[in-house]
């Protein structure tokens, strides 16, 4: 009785008192012990409140049969179970079904010996031990299933039998009651058949009516009562699709027919009228309330499955939204026009470079500056042939290579014009590409919105899992298993308070033969929905170290170690051309594209090619060396992707394995085939990725030698040690070292 108000606790107590009172009158034969002890033991087996339950039990059975033997019988059960629960709590071992039956048997021994030695009742006493033992065992099974999983769960045959026998015992107790000639059994039966014919699922309704009427059949030793009750239920069930009133009217007609014509029920005017009144009272209850009650008692199966499908739908929406944002962002990049270049200045700089290669340069130091060639370059840009008049007079008198200078002016002007034409073509192509990408992004956005507005169980494994959890007193309201392998997702709807119990993950491991971990949790009013995924085989710890080129305001390298998909981690080092802010911007741009492509679920083999093609089509002058590694922590594999990236290294048991670099950097050509390599990972491996500054300082052999002499335990220490070795060997460029330690999750457990 946890997490409920005082009024609810009081109501539950009196409901138990009434139930034990009814079962206190339920005796399969005269002079036999009542069946109340079986339900009492079953509820304690379900770990209900011992003190409140014992008080309701003693009060109920003593009120049903006020006698010294009844008090002794009830007190014996309370004392035996109190001692048993105390021993279990102190010893710390679980209370299992055979032990519950044993405690029930021990608690009935005082009544057995008293009845045998004081009253001489031998046969009934032995039968009482056997009947109550069986009833206790079936009640434990049925109550535990109902307590752990609810009426809407898939129940085994023994669980259904246990619940049916409890209902039959209640019917037996009600049937034995007689209030001044009035039999409440017939009123309850008529109301129950009327309700079960309309609201609950057909099979459940028939089972309830049949089990309850079985008590009357045992009491009167006539099975015709069961057939009559099922006939009343069947009459109403045939008309349930026609509405509440017609269904209940059919029940009433069948009840009157069985009572008047077949004499299946007591042919008494008072009992008959009160039974009809019970049917009418149920009919007056709104149909919505009846169905709401039935839905609460028998919730439709598949709630967990629907949640799992809904989760996948949301994941699809997130993917489509990510695609849309990615394409729209690419369209903005293509729309961004590069700053117009000063072609004349560029051509003059080229002529200055040619002039600086002259052997006589030292003799004419005053001939310097781009303005000297501006007039000649301007004439050449107009398509005219530049002449000596376009050069300064002092150059004509001192320079012996005037013809070469004029030729350089003409060539530089043509090269600048050609470059401008290419830039213009790139801008036009970019505008076309931007339009296409924007249209694609908008289409994906609309599709994502449609998916957002839209809105199978796991078979034998889920049924077994539900049973396993039930035996651990964990209420599972629904279970669903979707996917397989590393993409397996098990969704459970658990009673609030059960989601953090260690028994849940242990049951998942037993059923699915692999360790599971919670990846998503959603709290409801009285239940918590938890999604479990396979525990990854490995976990990662990484460290990084950077060096900035002397004279630069910042490094041009960028690195990242981030999760891009479930069980997939992207480790990347991007080295932009040159150093400083511009190189850092190129690296950041390339890294952002790589992460976005990976997160959106593009095929890994196409990601690097897409990044390269986009960088080349963007029309920028810079390029970026890309060294990426996609680490699957679920399977324990690493996929290396290199576009101009240098070698990477795997440290394993004191040995160094080198992963070759290669390919051109991203953005140099539109079509470049990246270098791919795949390696299996083991527990304790250290993955080391570096930029070209480290290799240039240490050489490849020197880097391998240095790594081979580093104790690869701490990734941060490994990265700093390797960078320090490069600095000591004359490092003069930007440099980055990323070290990633691979550790087994099983070892941690």
Neighbours of 736 (CB within 10 A): 26
Q: Which DSSP helix (H) or strand (E) runs through 529?
A: strand 527-534
Residue with tokens 């009809």: 276
Q: Which DSSP helix (H) or strand (E) runs through 658?
A: strand 655-659
SS3 of the chain: helix, strand, coil, percent, to 5 = 60, 15, 25
Tell me how far the alpha carbon of residue 191 is from its chain's centroid. Answer: 45
Cα→Cα distances 475→19, 296, 442, 518, Å = 23, 15, 46, 17
Cα→Cα distances 471→100, 148, 519, Å = 13, 8, 24
Q: Distance (Å, rounded) from C-alpha 76 to C-alpha 461? A: 42
Residue 33 gets which letter from DSSP? Answer: P
- Decide if pLDDT at 739 tops 90: yes
| pLDDT value at residue 456 | 45
Contact indicator for 216, 26 with CB cutoff of 8 Å: no
Listed residue (484, 491, 496) closest to 508, CA to CA? 491
First and final CA of the chain: distance in angstroms? 35
Listed residue (405, 353, 355, 354) closest to 380, CA to CA? 405
Contact indicator for 56, 20 with CB cutoff of 8 Å: yes
Listed residue (409, 408, 507) closest to 462, CA to CA? 507
Highest mean pLDDT pick, 171-185, 564-578, 582-596, 646-660? 646-660
Q: Which residue has the higher pLDDT, 287 or 386?
A: 287
Neighbours of 522 (CB within 10 A): 13
Listed residue (736, 684, 682) closest to 712, CA to CA? 684
DSSP string, 350-378: HHHHHHHT-TTGGG-TT--SGGGGHHHHH
Residue with tokens 């376009």: 390
Contact indicator for 688, 648 with CB cutoff of 8 Å: yes
Listed residue (146, 147, 153) closest to 479, CA to CA? 153
Question: What is the average pLDDT across 236-255?
Answer: 85
Look up residue 340 and give its two tokens: 């117009």
C-alpha dihedral (181, 185, 188, 190), degrees to nearest 10: -90
Contact indicator for 311, 520 with CB cutoff of 8 Å: yes
Helix 123-149 crosses helix 460-471 at what angle (to 10 degrees)? 120
Cα→Cα distances 307→522, 523, 717, Å = 10, 12, 45
Look at residue 740 and give its three-state secondary structure. Answer: strand
Length of the chain: 749
Query: Would the pTM of this model clear 0.85, i.e. be above it?
Result: no
pLDDT bin (cut points 50, 70, 90) of residue 1 is very low
Q: Distance (Å, rounded) from C-alpha 738 to C-alpha 143? A: 58
Look up residue 51 and give its two tokens: 């003190």
CB contact set of 514 (below 8 Å; sequence gap of 6+): 534, 535
| pLDDT value at residue 737 | 93
- Beta strands 686-690 and 648-652: pairing type? antiparallel
pLDDT bin (cut points 50, 70, 90) of residue 740 is very high
Nearest 5°: the CA angle 344, 347, 353 is 140
Q: Which residue has the higher pLDDT, 149 or 646?
A: 646
| pLDDT value at residue 91 | 84
Neighbours of 251 (CB within 10 A): 29
Q: Distance (Å, rounded) from C-alpha 134 to C-alpha 104? A: 10
The answer to whether the Cα torsion of 63, 209, 157, 293 is positive or negative is: negative
Look at residue 183 and give its three-state secondary structure. Answer: coil
| pLDDT value at residue 313 | 58
Tell me how far the alpha carbon of residue 82 is from its chain's centroid. Answer: 42
Q: Distance (Å, rounded) from C-alpha 299 to C-alpha 145? A: 15
Q: Distance (Å, rounded) from C-alpha 730 to C-alpha 724? A: 10
Among 6-10, 536-540, 745-749, the range scoring the smallest mean pLDDT is 745-749
- Decide if pLDDT at 688 tops 90: yes
Contact indicator for 19, 61 with CB cutoff of 8 Å: no
- Decide if pLDDT at 209 tops 70: yes
Q: Distance (Å, rounded) from C-alpha 307 to C-alpha 521? A: 11
Q: Distance (Å, rounded) from C-alpha 718 to C-alpha 707? A: 8
The residue ranges of DSSP E strands in 322-465, in sequence order, are: none
Listed residue (216, 234, 235, 233) closest to 225, CA to CA? 216
Q: Distance (Å, rounded) from C-alpha 26 to C-alpha 131? A: 12
Q: Distance (Å, rounded) from C-alpha 712 to C-alpha 685? A: 8
| pLDDT value at residue 455 | 45
10 Å CB burial of residue 595 (0-12, 13-18, 19+) is middle
Neighbours of 623 (CB within 10 A): 22
Highest mean pLDDT pick, 19-28, 196-205, 323-332? 19-28
| pLDDT value at residue 593 | 78
Q: Which residue has the higher pLDDT, 458 or 270?
A: 270
DSSP string, 588-640: HHHHHHHHHHHHTT--HHHHHHHHHHHHHHTT-S--EEEEEEEEETTTTEEEE
Neighbours of 519 (CB within 10 A): 12
Contact indicator for 544, 694 with CB cutoff of 8 Å: no
Nearest 5°: the CA angle 706, 703, 714 is 55
Looking at the chain, the whole-number percentage of residues with pLDDT higher than 70 is 71
Residue with tokens 């014919």: 197
- Decide if pLDDT at 165 tops 80: yes
10 Å CB burial of residue 418 (0-12, 13-18, 19+) is exposed
- Decide if pLDDT at 425 tops 60: yes
pLDDT bin (cut points 50, 70, 90) of residue 607 is low
Look up residue 270 and give its two tokens: 């008072």
Taking only Cα atoms into account, the Rg of the chain, rounded to an integer number of angstroms, comes to: 42
Neighbours of 282 (CB within 10 A): 22
Look up residue 575 and give its two tokens: 């080295």
Highest mean pLDDT pick, 312-316, 451-455, 484-488, 559-563? 559-563
Among 199-208, 213-222, 740-749, the range scoring the smallest mean pLDDT is 740-749
Helix 343-356 crosses helix 402-453 at what angle (to 10 degrees)? 130
Instruction: Supply the mean pLDDT for the chain.
Output: 77
Q: Distance (Å, rounded) from C-alpha 439 to C-alpha 702? A: 51
Among 206-210, 409-413, 738-742, the range scoring the smallest mean pLDDT is 409-413
Q: Which DSSP helix (H) or strand (E) runs through 545?
A: strand 538-547
CB contact set of 748 (below 8 Å; sequence gap of 6+): 539
Q: Is 679 left (phi over 0), alpha (psi -120 to 50) or beta?
A: beta
């Amino acid at each position: 009785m946890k997490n409920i108000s005082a009024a609810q606790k009081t109501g539950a107590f009196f409901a138990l008192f009434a139930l034990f009172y009814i079962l206190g009158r339920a005796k399969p034969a005269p002079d036999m012990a009542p069946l109340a002890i079986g339900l009492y033991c079953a509820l304690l087996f379900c770990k209900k409140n011992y003190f409140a339950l014992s008080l309701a039990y003693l009060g109920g059975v003593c009120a049903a049969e006020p006698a010294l033997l009844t008090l002794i019988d009830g007190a014996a059960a309370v004392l035996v179970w109190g001692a048993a629960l105390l021993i279990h709590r102190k010893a710390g071992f679980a209370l299992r079904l055979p032990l519950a039956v044993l405690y029930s048997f021990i608690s009935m021994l005082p009544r057995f010996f008293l009845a045998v030695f004081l009253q001489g009742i031998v046969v009934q006493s032995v039968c009482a031990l056997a009947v109550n033992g069986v009833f206790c065992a079936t009640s434990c099974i049925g109550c535990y299933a109902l307590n752990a999983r609810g009426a809407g769960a898939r129940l085994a045959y023994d669980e259904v039998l246990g619940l049916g026998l409890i209902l039959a015992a209640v019917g037996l107790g009600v049937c034995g009651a007689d209030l001044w000639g009035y039999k409440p059994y017939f009123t309850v039966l008529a109301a129950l058949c009327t309700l079960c014919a309309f609201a609950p699922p057909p099979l459940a309704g028939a089972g309830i009516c049949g089990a309850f009427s079985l008590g009357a059949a045992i009491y009167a030793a006539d099975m015709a009562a069961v057939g009559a009750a099922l006939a009343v239920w069947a009459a109403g069930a045939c008309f349930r699709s026609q509405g509440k009133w017609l269904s209940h009217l059919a029940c009433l007609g069948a009840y009157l027919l069985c009572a008047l014509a077949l004499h299946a029920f007591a042919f008494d005017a008072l009992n008959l009228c009160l039974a009809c009144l019970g049917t009418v009272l149920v009919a007056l209850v709104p149909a919505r309330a009846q169905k709401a009650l039935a839905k609460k008692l028998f919730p439709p199966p598949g709630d967990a499955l629907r949640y799992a499908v809904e989760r996948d739908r949301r994941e699809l929406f997130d993917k489509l939204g990510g695609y849309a944002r990615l394409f729209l962002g690419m369209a903005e990049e293509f729309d961004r026009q590069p700053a117009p270049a000063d072609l004349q200045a560029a051509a003059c700089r080229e002529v200055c470079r040619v002039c600086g290669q002259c052997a006589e340069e030292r003799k004419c130091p005053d001939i310097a500056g781009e303005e000297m060639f501006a007039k000649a370059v301007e004439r050449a840009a107009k398509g005219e042939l530049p002449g000596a008049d376009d050069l300064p007079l002092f150059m004509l008198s001192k320079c012996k290579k005037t013809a070469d200078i004029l030729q350089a002016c003409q060539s530089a002007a043509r090269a600048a014009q050609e470059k401008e034409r290419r830039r213009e073509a790139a801008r036009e192509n970019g505008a076309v590409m931007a339009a296409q990408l924007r249209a694609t992004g908008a289409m994906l956005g609309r599709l994502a919105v449609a998916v957002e507005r839209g809105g199978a169980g796991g078979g034998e494994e889920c049924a077994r899992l539900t049973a396993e959890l039930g035996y651990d007193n964990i209420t599972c309201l629904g279970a669903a298993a979707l996917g397989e392998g590393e993409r397996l997702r098990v969704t459970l709807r658990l009673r609030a308070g059960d989601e953090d119990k260690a028994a849940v993950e242990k049951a998942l491991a037993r059923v699915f033969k692999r360790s599971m971990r919670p990846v998503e949790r959603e709290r409801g009013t009285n239940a918590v929905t938890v999604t479990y995924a396979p525990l990854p085989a490995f976990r990662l710890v990484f460290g990084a170290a950077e060096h900035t080129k002397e004279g630069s305001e910042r490094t041009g390298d960028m690195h990242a170690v981030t999760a891009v998909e479930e069980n997939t981690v992207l480790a990347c080092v991007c080295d932009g051309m040159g150093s400083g802010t511009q190189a850092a911007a190129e690296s950041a741009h390339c890294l952002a594209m790589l992460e976005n492509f990976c997160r959106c679920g593009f095929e890994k083999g196409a990601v690097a090619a897409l990044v390269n093609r986009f960088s080349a089509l963007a029309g920028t002058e810079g390029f970026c060396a890309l060294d990426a590694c996609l680490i699957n922590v679920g399977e324990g594999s690493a996929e290396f992707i290199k576009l101009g990236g240098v070698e990477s290294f795997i440290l394993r048991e004191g040995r160094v394995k080198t992963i070759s670099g290669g390919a051109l950097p991203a953005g140099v050509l539109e079509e470049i085939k990246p270098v791919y390599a795949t390696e299996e990972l083991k527990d304790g491996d250290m993955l080391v990725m570096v930029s070209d500054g480290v290799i240039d300082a240490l050489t490849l052999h020197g880097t391998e030698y240095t790594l081979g002499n580093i104790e690869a335990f701490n990734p941060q220490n490994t990265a700093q040690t390797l960078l320090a070795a490069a600095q000591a060997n004359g490092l003069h460029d930007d440099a980055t070292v990323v070290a990633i330690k691979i550790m087994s999750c099983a070892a941690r457990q």
